[in-house]
Chains A and B, each alone.
Chain A
Amino acid sequence: MLSYITMFLLFLILPLGALILKSIQNKEGSFIGLSNFYLYLQEPALFQSFFNSLFVGITSTLIVIVLAFMFAYALTHSRMPFKGFFKVVALIPLLSPSILAAIALVYWFGNQGILKELLFENSIYGPIGIIFASVYWTFPHALMILVTALSLSDSRLYEAAEVLKTSKIRAFFTITIPGARYGIISSTFVVSTQVFTDFGVPKVIGGNYNVLATDIYKEVVGMQNFQMGAVISLVLLFPALIAFFIDQYSRRKQISLLTSRSVIFLPKKNFQTDTIMFGYCLLITVIIFMMIGMAQFGALVKFWPYNLTLTLDHYNFEVAGLGWESFYNSIRLAFYTAIFGTVIIFVGSYIVEKLRSDEKLKGIIQLFALMPMAVPGLVLGLSYIFYFNAKENPLNVIYATMVILVINTIVHFYTVSHLTGVTALKQMDREFEAVSLSLKIPIYKMFWRVTLPVCLPTVFDISIYLFVNAMTTVSGVIFLYTYDTTLASVSSIHLDEQGDVAAAAAMAMLIVYVSVGVRILHTIITKGILQKTQAWRHNISGNN
């Protein structure tokens, strides 16, 4: 229990404290109050970035919500064919780093792009590209939330409306939309925060269009101005924090909408609606395939667009001045993060949910566990520099090692995994622990014999989530890797920076292969193990 609080203090709270401290110090490290913030406001170029971030954030969010809502509606409220296929395809962007979309866009619409004319005189390098790529990679995030919200519909409400002679449109606005409203709010804040704080996409396709995330990078890496980096980080952190709290609030409201007496909605066949929905989903699917397909194609052709002979040259990263080392590092990082992260996070959620102990301490752990979601990866990464690079910190030894990357990644993706664990544990009867105590069975035995086997599907979900995110993340680790610990996603950005877009695409695609491969492996292993440990589930469904 205390070890968890210590862990959060060391790897989340104190680093953030160091970040705040840095923002009110000068280069020599003495206290100068809010002068840095004043300086920031005096700098029109930096200030402009704030509005740019806001603009791409809001615009992308509006587009994503509309597109994802229609897609989620088609999946949950129509009887179109191939729903399973559409759902899988729509989640593909989750398996690639966000920069992959940006790279694909460069191939389609860049200076040598084949569809460049579609943009008329506008350049893809700038807000258009950022928005397009952001919409692509945040689409599945919004979709998952909205599918959940829309599938919570109570069938009886629609029947009541039909019986009362209600038009389809009125039913949509008085039942469907209100029913999904918390999902809409929640996905709005999730997506806008993601776009607002994203680093990879604006770095690759932003051109001269500066946003907060790229500014932080420039200040820190380019000008070594750590103080200004800290200030901009805080500017980035606060909207994210506000969005986070609104999101948490609305998620809590969503739960109470469906009662035990509700009947889950099953859509009826409607040829016209189903056809339109099918057409729409097909269109989105085609776009997703065009994006990922183009990135793959770009990685495989000799010299886009002049020499389209296929080649594996771009996968020979030695030529580009860096070997396969970064790719292996990424796999190592993902592997360690998945193993250690899953154990730490699941046991943590068990402590919060099941152990009988001080409610106050549990509350603190729960709060700490939720915080990482509100902290953008870039901000967390920067705060780690300030905290762990300090000479007087005994933990200084982990700086510039794989260890700090693993810790940073676990903390960065802590919240979602923690909530997944808590949700699964909540579904287990509270009395299990009481029974085991009354039978004088120690809690850890109970955990090992019952809780863990029952929650095994969830444990696997957490591990795959951590693995894929560790593979694809950019923003969390961009400040923390060193020459010995370069990562595939970061290398992809650097390759692009050097103008070697094909190699960048090849590196990004490597990440996709691994993510897809691990996903498939995960499905197979999960199925195998589940057949052994989850036999009891079948009995339950058999009896009903």
Chain B
Amino acid sequence: MNQSARPTYLTIDNLSKNFGSFEAIKNIKIDIIEGEFACFLGPSGCGKTTLLRCIAGLEVQTTGSITQKNKEISNLPPSARDFGIVFQSYALFPNLSVTSNISYGLKNNKWRKDEIIVRVDELLSLVGLSNHATKYPSQLSGGEQQRVALARALATSPSLLLLDEPLSALDAKVRVYLRKQIKDLHRKLGVTTIMVTHDQEEAQSMADRIFVMNNGEIVQSGSPKDIYEKANSPFIADFIGVTNFIEATIVKENIIKCGKIELTCNTSKIPNNKRIRVAIRPEYITIKKTSSNAENTAKAVVKENEFLGSFQRLYVDCDQLGISQLMIDINSFTADSVLVGEESSIEIYLPPDRIRIYPIE
């Protein structure tokens, strides 16, 4: 998908929000592109929900501005803005039926009765709940309640959909199922969507673009693949997916000293003798049973072999690299897997282009 060809939908400029002396978000500057599925990802307390609530107008920013479709909305109340929202708790009206919940906003907008009936029917079939029209929220499962909340948010056809941790309260299976449903819905309706989540897997599987947040700031943004492969800080490398960290020093350009051996990798711009942190993901490391002493290899002993279904995670002791719990993921169904019983000696290979380094401040 070529994002840049499309116009900017929402511009957030220098947005900050303080709660007393606590800065929930600091100088946020982002553009959301029309029709994209954007995701604010970060650990709890990073300010992602506050940012979403500022966009909705449910919190008033301390400084900065928000522009939606070239119209500044920073000071408009929520009711004057154009969006639909799904809360983490769904916030369905417990005393109203599914139909009344969905039509709640339509009535406020003075829709005609017959129009409302048609629209509610349409929404019910869109989220696959046509059989539950007369039920009350408490009679529905969590996943069904979530879809009612989604239908209610979409009822007035808003051009922006805001999702605040929409799946966090659900069981793992339902969560995976609804991920796909929401994604399909997004594809079908093309409505610009912003989702807040702390679950990196959820963000990676759903978003076109991820904004990783920490301590009230956007620390990296990009496609899920970019962020996974080119995490620009140890925090992101650690937060998204699983990563091995090893301390090292730059010897000279593109050579680092890691434990007792030297490794080749791209050391761009970092000066010599600088202490660094090496990061490499478990699945990028490959293993061999025989020793070759080639570049970027080291000797290691398997300490533990954890079976995780489609792959196995090895914990190896690598004295040469100075790390005793290095994780390596290998495919469960290749020949390698039978060769790595506990205490077996192996040679590991760290591809230069997969090694990422971060200076230690």
Interface string of A256-288 (1 = CB under 8 A from B): 110101110000000000000000000000000
**What is the CA–CA distance of A175 and B91 in the complex, to the nearest angstrom?**
11
**A residues near B83, Cβ cutoff 8 Å:** 163
Q: Once the chains bind, are A167 and B87 in contact (CB under 8 Å)?
A: no
In chain A between 134 and 193, which residues have their CB closer than 8 angstroms to a CB of chain B? 154, 156-157, 159-167, 170, 174-175, 178-179, 181
Q: Are A174 and B91 in contact, CB atoms less than 8 angstroms apart?
A: no
CB contacts (< 8 Å) of B91 on chain A: these are 154, 156-157, 159-160
Whether B56 lies near A163 (C-beta < 8 A) is yes
Task: Find A154's partner among B77, B89, B109, B138 (CB 8 Å cutoff).
Answer: B89
**CB-defined contacts of A259 to chain B, threshold 8 Å:** 89
Q: Find out whether the CB atom of A166 lies under 8 angstroms from the CB atom of B108.
A: yes
Within 8 A of A (CB), among B68-91: 77-79, 83-85, 87-89, 91
Interface band, chain B: 20 to 34
Partner of A174, one of B78, B96, B169: B96
Closest approach, in angstroms, between the C-beta of B88 and any C-beta of chain A?
A: 6
**Contact partners of B84 in chain A: CB under 8 A:** 163
CA distance A261 to B92 in the complex (A): 12
Measured in the bound complex, the distance between the Cα atoms of B79 and A181 in whole Å is 27
CB nearest to A258 among chain B residues: B94
Q: Which residues of chain A from 341 to 380 have a CB within 8 Å of any chain B CB?
A: none
A160-B87 contact given A165-B79, A174-B96, A261-B169, CB 8 Å threshold = yes
Using A160-B93, A181-B95 as known contacts, list a sample of 7 further A-B pairs with CB atoms less than 8 Å apart, ordered by residue number in A.
A156-B89, A157-B91, A159-B58, A159-B91, A160-B85, A163-B56, A165-B105
Q: Are A261 and B152 in contact (CB under 8 A)?
A: no
Q: Which residue of A lies closest to B91 (CB)?
A: A156
- With both beta carbons as reference points, the residue of chain B lying nearest to A170 in the complex is identified as B108
Residues of chain A within 8 A (CB-CB) of B358 are none
B109 in contact with A157 (CB, 8 Å): no
A175–B100 Cα distance when bound, in Å, is 13
Give the Cβ gap from B165 to chain A, nearest Cβ, in Å: 10
Bitwise interface map of B from 235 to 247 toward A, beta carbon under 8 Å scored 1, else 0: 0000000000000
Complex Cα spacing A263 to B53, Å: 14
Contact B88 A261 (CB under 8 A): yes
Option from A162, A165, A167, A174 in Cβ contact (under 8 Å) with B93 = A174
A261 B89 Cβ-Cβ under 8 A: yes
By the criterion CB–CB under 8 Å, are A156 and B95 in contact?
no
Query: Would you call B108 and A167 a contact (CB within 8 A)?
Result: yes
Q: Which of chain B's residues has its CB closest to A154's CB?
A: B91
- What chain B residues lie within 8 Å of A178 (beta carbons)? 93-95
User: Within the assembled complex, what's the spacing in Å between the Cα atoms of A166 and B91?
Assistant: 15
| Docked complex Cα distance between A161 and B89 (Å) | 14
Task: Give the chain B neighbours of A167 by CB distance below 8 A.
Answer: 108
Known contacts A257-B94, A261-B169: does B89 contact A162 (CB below 8 Å)? no
A263 to B84 Cα, complex, angstroms: 19
A172 CB, nearest partner CB in chain B, Å:
13
Q: With both chains docked as a complex, state the minimum distance between the C-beta of A203 and any C-beta of chain B, in angstroms.
A: 43
For chain A, what secondary structure do more than half of its interface residues adopt (helix, strand, loop), or is it mixed?
A: helix
Q: Does B104 make an interface contact (CB < 8 A)?
A: yes
Q: How far apart sit A154 and B85, CA to CA, in the bound complex (Å)?
A: 16
B79, B95, B96, B109: the one within 8 Å of A162 (CB):
B79
C-alpha spacing A496/B65, complex, angstroms: 71
Give 8 closest A-B pairs by Cβ, nearest first.
A164-B105, A156-B91, A261-B89, A178-B95, A160-B91, A165-B79, A165-B108, A156-B87
Q: Which of A230-277 contact B (CB under 8 A)?
A: 256-257, 259, 261-263
Instruction: Quote the shortest CB–CB distance from A173 to chain B (angstroms).
Output: 11
Please, which residues of chain A bring their CB within 8 A of the CB of B95? 174, 178-179, 181
Shortest distance between the CB of A273 and any CB in chain B (Å): 16
Q: How far is the CB of A344 from chain B (nearest CB, A)?
A: 38
B89 and A263: CB pair below 8 A?
A: yes
Set of chain B residues within 8 Å of A160, measured between Cβ atoms: 85, 87, 91, 93, 152
The CB with the most chain B CB atoms within 10 A, among A160, A178, A257, A262, is that of A160
Write out the residue numbers on chain A whose beta carbons fall within 8 Å of the beta carbon of B87: 156, 159-160
Given contacts A157-B91, A174-B96, A162 and B108 within 8 Å (CB-CB): no
Contacting residues, chain B, for A256 (C-beta < 8 A)? 138
Name the residue of chain A whose CB is nearest to the CB of B105: A164
* Interchain CA distance A389-B259 in the complex, whole Å: 95
Complex CA–CA separation, A161 to B93 (angstroms):
9
**Residues of chain B lying within 8 A (CB to CB) of residue A181:** 95
CA–CA, A181 and B93, complex, Å: 14
25 A-B residue pairings within 8 Å (CB atoms): A154-B91, A156-B88, A156-B89, A159-B85, A160-B87, A160-B152, A162-B58, A162-B78, A162-B79, A163-B56, A163-B83, A163-B85, A164-B108, A166-B79, A166-B104, A166-B108, A167-B108, A174-B93, A174-B104, A175-B93, A178-B95, A256-B138, A259-B89, A261-B88, A262-B89
- Residues of A close to B79: CB separation below 8 A: 162-163, 165-166
Assess the A165–B169 pair: CB atoms within 8 A: no
A residues near B88, Cβ cutoff 8 Å: 156, 261
Closest CB in chain A relative to B156 CB, distance in Å: 8
For chain B, residues 83 to 130, give those with C-beta under 8 angstroms from any C-beta of chain A: 83-85, 87-89, 91, 93-96, 104-105, 108-109
CB distance from B149 to the nearest CB of A (A): 8
Within 8 A of A (CB), among B147-181: 152, 156, 169
CB B211 to nearest CB in A, in angstroms, measures 22
> Shortest CB–CB separation between residue B158 and chain A, in angstroms?
9
A318 and B156 CA atoms in complex are apart in Å by 78
Complex CA gap A159/B164 in Å reads 13
- List of A residues within 8 angstroms of B169 by Cβ: 261
When chains A and B are docked, how far (Å) is the Cα of A261 from the Cα of B166?
12
Residues 436-478 of A contacting B (Cβ, < 8 Å):
none
In the assembled complex, the CB of A16 is this many whole angstroms from the nearest CB of chain B, namely 38
- Among A157, A178, A179, the one with the most B-chain Cβ atoms within 10 Å of its Cβ is A157
Identity of the chain B residue whose Cβ is nearest the Cβ of A158 in the assembled complex? B91
Complex CA gap A251/B94 in Å reads: 17
Q: In the docked arrangement, what's the CA distance between A163 and B89, Å?
A: 15
Option from A164, A165, A170 in Cβ contact (under 8 Å) with B152: A164
From B77, B93, B109, B169, name the one whose CB has the most chain A CB atoms within 10 angstroms: B93
In the complex, chain A residues whose CB is within 8 Å of the CB of B96: 174
Residues of A within 8 A of B152 (CB): 160, 164
A533–B56 CA distance with the chains assembled, in angstroms: 45
Shortest C-beta distance, B14 to chain A (Å), equals: 25
Q: A154-B89, A159-B87 are in contact. Are A164 and B94 (CB under 8 A)?
A: no
Cβ–Cβ < 8 Å partners of A154 in chain B = 89, 91
- Closest residue to B106 on the A side, CB-wise? A164
| Nearest neighbor of A157 in chain B, beta-carbon distance | B91
B54 → A minimal CB distance (Å): 13
Complex CA distance for A439 and B94, rounded to whole angstroms: 45
Distance in angstroms between the alpha carbons of A175 and B92 in the assembled complex: 10
Given contacts A170-B108, A259-B89, contact A163 B94 (CB under 8 A): no
Residues of B within 8 Å of A164, CB to CB, are 104-105, 108, 152, 156
Chain B residues with CB below 8 A from A163, complex form: 56, 58, 78-79, 83-85
